[in-house]
Amino acid sequence: MGDTVYVRFQGTERSPRGHFPGIFGLANGLARDGKLSEEQHRFWRAGNDWYDTHYTNPSLVDPTVYDPEANPGAVAWFKSTAVHLLVRVDGYLDLLTTHAVDHERVETTDPGRIVYEDEDQVIAVPWHPDRPVCGPRP
């Protein structure tokens, strides 16, 4: 796989689809459920707008990238070199912490079968979808 380190921020509980949702999905859920204060909502909206402008949405490049039949359990990982994206994650982590949403940072050099890649991220299907943390194959 190489020396690239992939970084993912995710919840610690599986979603109904069976995966561990990423921090953007978790924050979007808080907003959708009306749990954010006005200030938090402004942060969330501005943050999502910034990310939408500054990195590629893989689903717009390949609509099947998250398809549960074609790519079961596919999740996004930042490349550790995408520092300009990673430095803005802390605000989302603070938001989740404030709302008692458990989350974790996961790092690996082998996120699974890569089904999408650009300069900032990969989307990968984990080698072992039944394990909570994707890691190198045995």
67-118 pLDDT per residue, tens: 989 999 899 999 999 999 999 999 999 999 999 999 999 999 999 999 999 9
d(CA 130, CA 80): 25
Binned at pLDDT 50, 70 and 90, residue 129 comes out as low
Q: pTM to 2 decimals?
A: 0.88
